[in-house]
Amino acid sequence: MKSDDEKLKELFETKEKTTFGNPIKKARSLSIIRNVIISLMVFIILNAIALILNSTFLTNISEKEEKKLENWFNIAMPNAYVGNIKNYDGDGSVIVQT
């Protein structure tokens, strides 16, 4: 019969290789992959939001500038349209410029 001390030594002093290495490596690689996927998703979502906001701001600015130009044309040249100007020649003919 073995004593309790010998049984404990056998239990803790085995030369077997532990198999904790593979699950730890697998968990580490899955964690890295998960972090990369989450980072890419956040990057794509933020870029989409930035593009939408940019187009909204540019549309707003262009509408304001177009309205200013249209008002200037209406005040400066009452017989003109934006992109189409009618000038009356002295002999009664109309000259259209685009």
Amino acid identity of residue 48, one-letter, is A
Give residue 82's pLDDT: 63
- The pLDDT tens digits of the residues spanning 59-96 come to 999 999 999 988 887 787 776 666 666 666 666 565 65
- pTM of the complete model: 0.53
Residue 1: both structure tokens together: 């019969």
**Coil, strand or helix: which one is 78?**
coil
Specify whether the CB–CB gap between 86 and 79 falls below 8 A: yes
